Structure 1
Amino acid sequence: MATYDKSASTRTAWLGWVYFAGIMMITLGFFQAISGLVALFDDGYYLVGRSGLVVSVDYSAWGFVHLLIGLTAFAAGFAVMTGKTWGRTVGIVLAVVSAIVNMAFIAAYPLWSILIIAMDVIIIYALAVHGREAAE
């Protein structure tokens, strides 16, 4: 008698986007962590115009924020790739936080910030709508 594999029929082409989100989380987490480390060790790293950043805080604090977001996104990216539920949840939360943080840095790095925000939106969509497929 033939058996029916229900899990195989529920997977869609969006599963590739979930894996893409995991890879992007790992990559962007690495870049965020490097950016945080550079900000901590180089006081002149953030060069902004007269208007300054959207928020006025110590650059060392932003260095720690970028480092923390980067390391957490790196770990959550591997969790997404292995289908862990906590990885999807943390990934969505971190993508939202990353988008907000990068909005604050649009004055310092406009092109980079917009690129990261766009990637964050894709990650949020892939994980929120199709993330469950990776666990099956």
Structure 2
Amino acid sequence: MSPWAAWVVFAGVMLSIVGILQVTIGIVALVRDDLFAVDASRLLVAPSWTAWGWIHLVIGAAQIVVGLGLLAGTSWGRIFGVVLAFLNSLTNLAFLAAFPVWTALIISFNMITIYAITAHGTEVRPDYD
């Protein structure tokens, strides 16, 4: 395993952490939508908080699974890791008015994850010796 494999491990951990954060915000949107400072109609895309909650919950759960697949060195983990990090960034961009700082952090975590996977994704592969 090369020294660059740490980037891929970092990406897998970050993908899982961002997934956990997304699941958390999804649950908050489903259960306590009164905690959000803005009305859902002020978002870039204006569905209800329940719809946003389910979107964040599903993407977050998928990110957790894909993060674990990335840590295992699977090729589907690399492919879906980039796709989910990109989708999560787009989703959070539409969510920007509700939590600007949170959203900026999540998007930056996603961009670092995409870099790590695309630049060094092949460095971690399972050994079948």
- Mark yes or no: TM-score above 0.5: yes
Displacement of 1:48 in angstroms is: 1.4
User: What residue is the counterpart of 2:83 in the other structure?
Assistant: 93
Q: Does 1:119 align with 2:109?
A: yes
Q: Secondary structure at the match of 1:131?
A: helix
Q: Which runs of 5+ in 2 are unaligned?
A: none
Structure (1 or 2) with the larger CA radius of gyration: 1
User: Are the aligned partners of 1:14 and 1:126 in contact in 2 as well (CA < 8 Å)?
Assistant: no
Q: Distance in 1 between matches of 2:96 and 2:52?
A: 14
User: What residue is the counterpart of 1:73 in the other structure?
Assistant: 63
Q: Distance in 1 between matches of 2:36 and 2:17?
A: 21
Q: Distance in 2 between matches of 1:66 and 1:49?
A: 17
User: Are the aligned partners of 2:41 and 2:47 in contact in 1 as well (CA < 8 Å)?
Assistant: no
Displacement of 1:51 in angstroms is: 7.8
State the AA in 1 paired with 2:70. Answer: V
Give deviations 1:88-129, integer Å, cap 9, x for gaps.
Answer: 111100000011011111111111111111111111111112
Greater Cα shift, 108-117 or 13-22: 13-22
State the AA in 1 paired with 2:87. Answer: V
Displacement of 1:49 in angstroms is: 6.7
Q: Which runs of 5+ in 1 are unaligned?
A: 1-7
Higher relative contact order structure (alpha carbons within 8 Å, sequence separation ≥ 6):
2
Alignment CA distance shift 1:50-1:78 (3 Å): closer
User: What residue is the counterpart of 1:5 in the other structure?
Assistant: none
Structure 1 residues 11-50: aligned runs within 5 Å = 11=2, 13-48=3-38
Give deviations 1:72-92, integer Å, cap 9, x for gaps.
Answer: 000111111110111111110
Question: Structure 1 length as normaliser, TM-score?
Answer: 0.86
Runs of 4+ in 1 over 3 A off after TM superposition: none
Q: Distance in 1 between matches of 2:24 and 2:9?
A: 23
User: What residue is the counterpart of 2:121 in the other structure?
Assistant: 131
Question: Structure 2 length as normaliser, TM-score?
Answer: 0.90
Percent identical across equivalent pairs? Answer: 40
Q: Distance in 1 between matches of 2:17 and 2:43?
A: 25
